[in-house]
A and B are shown apart, each in its own frame.
Chain A
Amino acid sequence: MRYFIIILLFFISGHSLARIIVVCKTCPVEGIGVAIQLAQEGDTILVKRGIYQEYDIKIDKCLTLIGQDWPVVEGGNQSEVFSITAPGVTMEGFQIQNTGASQSQERAGIRIKNTSDFRIRRNRLLNTYFGIYLEYSRDGIVEDNYIKGEAVSETTSGNAVHAWYCKQITVRGNSVYGHRDGIYFEFVDSSWISHNYSEANVRYGLHFMFSNDDRYFHNTFRHNGSGVAVMFSKRIDMIANHFEHNWGTAAYGLLLKEIYDASLRDNHFDRNTIGIFMEGAARINYENNTFSNNGITLKMMGGCIANHFKGNFFFSNTLDLVVEGNTNDNSFDGNYWSEYTGYDLNRDGVGDVPYRPVKLFAYVMHRCPESVVLLRSFFVDLLNLSEK
Chain B
Amino acid sequence: MISVTHLSKSFSRLEVLKDISVDFTRPGITAVLGPNGSGKTTLIKCLLGMVIPDQGDIQAFGQPVKGQWTYRSQIGYLPQIARFPDNLRVKELIAMIKDIRGTAADEAPLIEAFGLETYLDKKLGHLSGGTKQKVNLLLALLYDTPVIIMDEPTAGLDPIALIRLKDIIQREKKRGKVILITTHIISLVEEIADEVVFLLEGRIHFRGTPEQLRMQYAGANLEEAIANLLLNENQATAVHPKLTQNHNGIALHKNLKPC
Q: Are A and B direct contacts in the complex by CB distance below 8 Å?
A: no
A contacts, CB < 8 Å to B: none
